[in-house]
Amino acid sequence: GAGVSQSPSNKVTEKGKDVELRCDPISGHTALYWYRQSLGQGLEFLIYFQGNSAPDKSGLPSDRFSAERTGGSVSTLTIQRTQQEDSAVYLCASSRTGDETQYFGPGTRLLVL
Amino acid sequence: KQEVTQIPAALSVPEGENLVLNCSFTDSAIYNLQWFRQDPGKGLTSLLLIQSSQREQTSGRLNASLDKSSGRSTLYIAASQPGDSATYLCAVKSGGSNYKLTFGKGTLLTVNP
């Protein structure tokens, strides 16, 4: 079946612009996660959704970052007034209730010039 | 705060060799530990998941062990093949959270034909 999909696969933007990154989880997966992978760094947790609620936003690095999830499915991660340090690969994962495994999408590579 | 360290950062071996990748974590109060594989330009693929009550898990040529009390895990790859070349990531679920994964920075494995 279809896995987690993310769009766009690559995004180049200018400093100060806003960007939206999209994640389509596996159908039926109630939990959705966003991670960021910066060059030379490990993956860092950003936010977790259970259904449409985000009980843990502790990983969002600043108030320029926000995320929402609608219909218990698609999620959008928005970065406002992008900075060069926001350049990274943004990975989305989903999991179903009772399954410990998180299934990852291919990521969106964001480059802020 | 949970910290995950992976050693070595990079490893190059000839085809057919058996090898061990190491992962250590600072907080032994974990729910589980996962090993992932990441291919260039792609997302993560879950290889093995070990629950905190388990000592090891096996899948084909892969064997992962867990020593929770000492904060260590190893991933053993038998009879390595060029197709095993990838970055291997270790992640733990812990810290009172039943969803947040803390990742190491990974080991870049190259298996030479």
Res A98: pLDDT: 76
Interface test with B, best of A4, A30, A47, A102 (most B CBs within 10 A): A102
Q: Which residues of chain B have pLDDT under 70?
A: 95-98
Q: Stretch A30-55: mean pLDDT, rounded?
A: 90
Q: Is B23 exposed, middle or buried (0-12, 13-18, 19+ CB in 10 A)?
A: buried
- At residue B91's C-alpha, the angle toward residues A52 and B60, to 5°, is 110
**What is the percentage of chain B residues whose pLDDT exceeds 70?**
96
CB contact under 8 A, A33 and B99: yes
Res B77: pLDDT: 97
Residue A73 to residue A51: CA distance in whole angstroms: 8
**What is the percentage of chain A residues whose pLDDT exceeds 70?**
99
CA distances to A94, B10, B65, B75 from B6, rounded to whole Å, are: 25, 10, 14, 11
Chain B residues in contact with A91 (beta carbon < 8 A): 43-44
Q: Residue A57's pLDDT band (boundaries 50, 70, 90)?
A: confident
Report chain A residues touching chain B, CB-CB < 8 A: 4, 31, 33, 35, 40-45, 48, 56, 59, 91, 93, 95, 100-107
Per the CB < 8 A criterion, the answer to whether B65 and B24 are in contact is no
Res B97: pLDDT: 64
